[in-house]
């Protein structure tokens, strides 16, 4: 492969997703502050963070291709991040019960050699079924999704919380849209899977 590929994330979920493409890569922590700026839209927020994460990692790897990604959930126009602890997760799932939640994933492929980048936004919608407090508590005890936007893991038991999913790329819901990322990598002439043919 012409480029060294770096995933600018310490998320085990994003790492596991990227492994599905069978491309050699390394992970690196971007260490940036993830705060919403005043009057910043959710769309601009996740795209900005995806780019900033990639740029931060590019300082460590000046000859690499860097993947940056960030995600937030939106309910009734309000941006929601990772719950971080149990009580916040309970509150998020109570608020999501019977509602449609939109997940926005910002994705960036940054060429540290040239400072060129591809940047996109991938939406995904989740319709939650009506959840009881017992179901919420039981779910959280099993998966403890406190580092996950929306307080669930769709790749695990979290799928049982939903009534309907709508979007072009189910991997976007987990935090790294592989369909769009594959397109970006092909633009840089990276073969998927990486073979010698």
pLDDT tens per residue across span 45-92? 999 999 999 999 999 999 999 999 999 999 998 898 889 999 999 999
Residue 197 belongs to a domain: no
Residue 93 belongs to a domain: yes
Assign residue 127 the CATH number of its domain: 3.90.950.10
Residue 134 belongs to a domain: yes
For the CA atoms of the chain, what is the radius of gyration? Answer: 17
Which one from 31, 44, 70, 111 is the annotated catalytic residue? 70
Q: Show the CA angle centred on residue 150, arms to residues 20 and 124, nearest 5°.
A: 60
Looking at the structure of the chain, the number of domains it has is: 1
The mean pLDDT of the chain is 92
Residue 193 belongs to a domain: no
**Catalytic residue list contains 70:** yes
Domain span at residue 117? 4-187
The pTM score is 0.90
| For residues 177-181, average pLDDT | 97
């Amino acid at each position: 492969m012409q480029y060294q590929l770096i995933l600018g994330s310490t998320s085990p979920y994003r790492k596991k997703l990227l492994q599905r493409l069978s491309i050699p890569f390394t992970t690196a922590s971007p260490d940036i502050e993830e705060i919403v700026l005043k009057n910043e839209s959710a769309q601009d927020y996740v795209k900005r963070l995806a780019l900033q994460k990639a740029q931060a990692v590019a300082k460590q790897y000046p000859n690499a291709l860097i993947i940056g990604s960030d995600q937030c959930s939106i309910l009734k126009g309000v941006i929601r991040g990772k719950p971080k602890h149990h009580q916040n997760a309970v509150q998020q799932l109570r608020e999501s019960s019977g509602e449609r939640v939109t997940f926005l994933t910002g994705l960036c492929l940054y060429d540290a050699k040239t400072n060129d980048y591809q940047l996109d936004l991938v939406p995904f919608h989740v319709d939650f079924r009506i959840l009881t407090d017992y179901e919420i508590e039981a779910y959280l005890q099993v998966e403890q999704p406190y580092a996950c936007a929306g307080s669930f893991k769709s790749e695990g038991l979290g799928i049982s919380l939903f009534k309907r999913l709508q979007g072009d790329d189910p991997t976007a819901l987990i935090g790294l849209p592989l369909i769009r990322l594959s397109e970006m990598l092909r633009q840089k002439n990276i073969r998927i899977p990486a073979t010698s043919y």
